[in-house]
Amino acid sequence: MSTVNNTILSHTQIQHKVKRIAYQIYESNVDEKEIIIAGIADNGYVLAERLAIVLKTISPLQITLCKVVVDKKDPQQPIQTSIAASTYQNKSLVLVDDVLNSGTTLIYGIKHFLEVPLKRFKTAVLVNRNHKKYPVKADFKGISLSTSLHEHVAVTFGSQDVVTLE
C-alpha cells in the first residue's frame, strides 16, 4: 500500500499564515509592552521563532522567546523551559505548536504554565485538526483541517517549508 502525500500548505502559504497569526497576536496584546512566545520543541519552537521575527517588525512589543520541552511519549514527565518561571510570571504568554492533533502536548504545556500567575494566556498553532482527546483549542490558527484519524499531518520547516497530509 503506497502513501500519497498531498501538499496542504506551500512555503509561501506558510509564510502568509505566520504573518497573519503574528498580526492576530499583536492585536490581542496591543496594550502590552512585552509578551512571551513559548514554542513547543521542535517544530513548535521553529514556528515561535518565525512569529517572533514578524512580531518584531510589525510591533513595538518586546518579544521573549521560550523553548518548551515536552516528552511527547510521556507528557506527564516534568516540562522544561529555556527561561525561568519568574521571567514569564504576570506576563502575557502565547504557547505555540505546529499541529494540534489530539491536544495532549498542548494541554500538558498549558498545565505547566498555569502553575505560574500569567496576565494573559493564549495558544497558537499552524494546523488545527479536529480529533482532540482534550478540551483544548487554539486561539490563533493558520488552517483548520477535517481529516481522518488514519491521516497524518506533517510540517516540514527548512529551505522549502511544506505542510503535507499523508
Q: Pick the range with the lowest mean pLDDT from 41-45, 88-92, 144-148.
A: 144-148
Residues 97, 84: Cα–Cα separation, whole Å: 20
pLDDT band at residue 43 using 50, 70 and 90 as cut-offs: very high
Q: Which position has the higher pLDDT, 9 or 92?
A: 92
Alpha carbon distance, N-terminus to C-terminus of the chain: 12
Of residues 160 and 141, more confidence is placed in 141
Q: E strands, 70-139, where?
A: 80-81, 92-100, 120-129
Rounded mean pLDDT, 121-142: 90
- Cell 482532540 found at: 132
| pLDDT at residue 2, rounded to an integer | 43
pTM to 2 decimal places: 0.90
Among 80, 128, 133, 78, which residue's Cα sits nearest to residue 104? Answer: 133
Give the domains, in start order, of the chain with CATH numbers: 6-165 (3.40.50.2020)
φ/ψ (deg, to 5) at 134: -120, 150
What is the 8-class DSSP label of residue 160?
T
What was the pLDDT predicted at 70?
Answer: 94
Q: Is the pLDDT of residue 5 over 90?
A: no
Whether the predicted pLDDT of 125 surpasses 50: yes
Q: Please, what is the average pLDDT of the chain?
A: 90
Q: What is the pLDDT of residue 85?
A: 95
For 88, left (φ over 0), alpha (ψ -120 to 50), or beta? alpha
Reference 99, options 54, 55, 145, 64; nearest CA is: 145
